[in-house]
Amino acid sequence: MKQHSFPFSLARPLALLVCILLSLSGSTQQKAAITRVDPTFWWVGMKDQNLQLLVYGPNAGTFTYSIDYPGVTLVKTHTVENPNYAFLNLTLAPQTKAGTFTLTGRNGKQKLTRQYQLKARTNEPKAQGVNASDFIYLVLPDRFANADPKNDAFKNMADTQADRSNPFLRHGGDLKGIQNHLGYFEELGATALWLNPIIENDQPLTEEGGTQRSAYHGYAFTDHYQVDRRLGGNDAYKKLIQAAHTRGMKVVKDAVYNHVGSNHWFIKDLPSKDWLNQWPAYTNTSHKFQPTIDPHAAQADYEVLRKGWFVPHMPDLNQNNPFVANYLIQHALWTVEHFGVDAWRIDTYLYNEDEFMNRCNQALLNEYPTIHIFGESWVNNVVAQARFVQNTINFPFKSNQPGTLDFVLFNAINDALNQNFGWDEGVSKIHQTLAQDAVYQDPMKLVTFLDNHDMNRYFSVIGEDLNKYKMGMTWLLTLRGIPSLYYGTEILMKNFKDPSDAEVRKDFPGGFAGDKENKFTAAGRTERENEAFNFVKKLAQYRKNTPALHSGKLTQFVPQEGIYVYFRHDEKKTVLVATNSTDKEAELKTERYKERLQGFSKARNVLTDQNLNTLTTIKIPAKTALVLELQP
């Protein structure tokens, strides 16, 4: 998620803060009860034997609690400003058996009880991670496919509307719709699905840029432990992941730690004033990342970046509050364990507190050593990007995040496609960006992309030029890192963010009842769309079956006269990628590349299946990237 450019009224956030403060003194007259406990259940046999339960209900924090269950010890009870909350620190001994215990609270003659379940862990696949051998497909669930129109809208939710004719309202896509098209992803060559957030967003419409908009994007959580029922709920999410695993596909969870929706249940009755980052008057984040790397930065600028709110209707969580931190970390572990997700994408990573992020990352990695974690830090240079991932730079703070979204390479690829070649322009940008990979501990763990749900669509940015499309797609699928593709890019979906993000988040044609076109099938695509689809499919399937291409060493040569050449190679195979970014056919003399061509005299063009019987010179058509599998 990126910053928004439209103006906001300060009246709503200021009113929200007033309500938050008033809520701390409310509900004392209600009958005492426990109405919820988070996490909703837990497991025996977890590596971390500590568990903190959030106990909530009218005056639930005024009771003294006890637990009588073998292996479960109530170590300490914490109370906060709001008497409706208690936080219970438990330890679970290694020999603790699965079962249900009774949480008992006493306050004089009053008694509260609540059943809590400890489950046995299963051997179902989970936290398999994604790596350079994978190809991630990014889906915005509400806009992809609708399998069940009955769950499009609910009268008892804050937003009761679903209308495909309105770009700002929900359209009805759901998780079953995604599951119904797993075969499509497989055909394309995708090995992992990344879904924009699926957690409940029970938000009212908000005024943004002069229009009323829904939270169909998913980034305004209102209950961490519920998948939005308009997407099908918890059961549908679990079934989708199980179905994907059955096909050998992985699922990436989109996590948000920085903020929640203004309608979140704990925002309506805030545990304490410091649950949020609060200011005397509404303060937006600056969206300026520089204070995180600047040795000369003013502390005030750093505070505004980190503690300012992303937008007024998404309250900013104070991760320095230990109860907030525990709540978010335990939810992350619960999600992986319960649903079986394989990797973890973190929204607005650079806005989170550093120590919290390291602690959260480590908790996931300790419990699930094979999981991959990559965050969104929207920056414009390599040094800044390295700041938020495991790196080799002497920063005062060292991040433990394994991967990150590669915004710098994204910018370089776009420049390469839209600039004429020069010393520092065109394909030189890609070469120069990759030449700085030494700043990362492992650049292969970076996730690369051509566009996403917050950006102008790739095909529009390159002027709807199919030759440029193929060049960029070739770079995406043959350079280092873990490639990801935004839904519809393979069928040339286009548009700019004008007047809003909705223009780049249109419904996938064929995913909804009544669609006149079905782009899930070759028969429903135009000739040009099939050319693009088949290009991605051909290269992605080849990449999947060619370790040298996805996991081998990268050797690149300084571009000359608009020609950019690099090799992906391991002990078994060598692949040559040669790009002519100019408007004229080029004849590549290969003597310069002999260090990687030794022992090879022929090649097969991976994309056309044509054979080259000599490698002395290679003709490259204008605006073309060749992918050649070298042969003796």
Catalytic residue IDs:
347, 376
C-beta of residue 471 within 8 angstroms of C-beta of residue 431: no
Q: Which residues contact 365 (CB under 8 A, 6 or more apart)?
A: 371, 373, 400, 402
Among 2, 187, 4, 138, which Cα is nearest to 448's?
138
* Beta-bridge mates of residue 589: 617
Beta strand ranges found along 536-585 (DSSP E): 553-556, 563-569, 574-580
- Find how far residue 133's CA is from the centre of its chain: 18
- Give the span between the Cα atoms of 505 and 507, in whole angstroms: 7
C-beta of residue 263 within 8 angstroms of C-beta of residue 226: no
- Give the span between the Cα atoms of 90 and 87, in whole angstroms: 10
* Beta-bridge mates of residue 69: 72
Q: Which residue has the tokens 């450019």?
A: 5
Count of other CB atoms within 10 angstroms of residue 287: 16
The secondary structure of residue 532, as a DSSP letter, is H
Written as six digits, the tokens of 546 are 């060619």
Q: Which residue has the tokens 């073309």?
A: 624
- Where do the H-state alpha helices sit in 204-298? 233-246, 265-268
- Give the span between the Cα atoms of 495 and 517, in whole angstroms: 18
Strand 574-580 with 553-556, pairing: unpaired
Among 607, 588, 594, which Cα is nearest to 546's?
607
- Find how far residue 623's CA is from the centre of its chain: 32
Cis peptide before 295 (omega within 30 of 0): no
Q: Can you tell me whether residue 388 is helix, strand or coil?
A: coil
- Give kind and range of the element (H or E) at residue 260: none
* Beta-bridge mates of residue 200: 223
Give the 3-state DSSP-derived string for 19-59, with helices as H, strands as E and coil as C: HHHHHCCCCCCCCCCCCEEECCCEEECCCCCEEEEEEECCC
Count of other CB atoms within 10 angstroms of residue 587: 10
Count of other CB atoms within 10 angstroms of residue 259: 26
Beta strand ranges found along 503-573 (DSSP E): 553-556, 563-569
- Give kind and range of the element (H or E) at residue 358: helix 354-367
- Give kind and range of the element (H or E) at residue 326: helix 322-339
The secondary structure of residue 300, as a DSSP letter, is H
